[in-house]
Amino acid sequence: MRVLLYTPSKTLPEWRDALARALPEGELRAWEPGLAWRADYAALWYPAAEVLAGQTALKAIFNLGAGVEALLKRIALPPGVPVIRLEDAGMARQMAEYVTWAVLRYFRRLDVYAAQQSRADWKLHRPLRYADFPVGVMGVGVLGTHVARALAALGFPVLGWSRGKKRVDGMRLFAGPLELNAFLGGSRALVCMLPHTADTDGILNRHTLFKLPAGSYVINVARGGLVVDDDLLVALDAGHIAGATLDVFHEEPLPAAHPYWRHPKVLITPHASAITLTDESAAQVAEKIRRLERGEPVSGVVDLARGY
Comparison of pLDDT for 58 and 72, the residue scoring more: 58
Is residue 300 pLDDT above 80, yes or no? Answer: yes
Q: Are 229 and 260 in contact (CB under 8 A)?
A: yes
> pTM of the predicted model, to two decimals?
0.92
> Class of 91-268 per CATH?
alpha beta
For residues 19-43, average pLDDT: 97
Enumerate residues 6+ apart whose C-beta is below 8 A from 93: 146
pLDDT band for position 239 (50/70/90)? Answer: very high
Q: Do domains 2-89+276-293 and 91-268 have the same CATH topology?
A: yes
Q: How far from chain centre, in Å, is Cα 8?
A: 19
- Cα–Cα distance list, 18 to 11, 14, 22, 277, 286 (Å): 11, 6, 6, 10, 10
pLDDT of res. 69: 87
Q: Tell me if residue 241 falls in helix, strand or coil.
A: strand
**What tens digit of pLDDT does each residue of 99-137 get?**
999 999 999 999 999 999 999 999 999 999 999 999 999
pLDDT band for position 9 (50/70/90)? Answer: very high
> Which residue type is seen at 295?
G
pLDDT of res. 126: 93
174-208 as b/e: b if 16+ CB within 10 A: bbeeeebeebbebbbbbbbbbbbbeebeebbbeeb
- Cα–Cα distance list, 32 to 14, 46, 53, 57 (Å): 17, 14, 11, 18
Rg over alpha carbons for the chain, rounded to the nearest Å, is: 21
Domain 2-89+276-293 adopts which CATH fold?
A: Rossmann fold (3.40.50)
Please give the Cα distance from 61 to 12 (Å, whole number): 17
Q: Are 212 and 190 in contact (CB under 8 A)?
A: yes
Comparison of pLDDT for 307 and 47, the residue scoring more: 47
Taking Cα atoms as reference points, which of 169, 161, 235 lies closest to residue 192?
A: 161
Percent of the chain at pLDDT above 70?
A: 100
Q: Are 28 and 289 in contact (CB under 8 A)?
A: no
Neighbours of 293 (CB within 10 A): 14
Average model confidence (pLDDT) across the chain: 96
Is residue 308 pLDDT above 90, yes or no? Answer: no
Q: Where are the domains of the chain?
A: 2-89+276-293, 91-268
Taking Cα atoms as reference points, which of 172, 191, 236, 229 lies closest to residue 210?
A: 236
Please give the Cα distance from 220 to 174 (Å, whole number): 19
Comparison of pLDDT for 262 and 169, the residue scoring more: 262
**What tens digit of pLDDT does each residue of 271-291 get?**
999 999 999 999 999 999 999
pLDDT of res. 282: 97
Percent of the chain at pLDDT above 90?
A: 91
pLDDT of res. 70: 84
Active-site amino acid positions: 223, 271
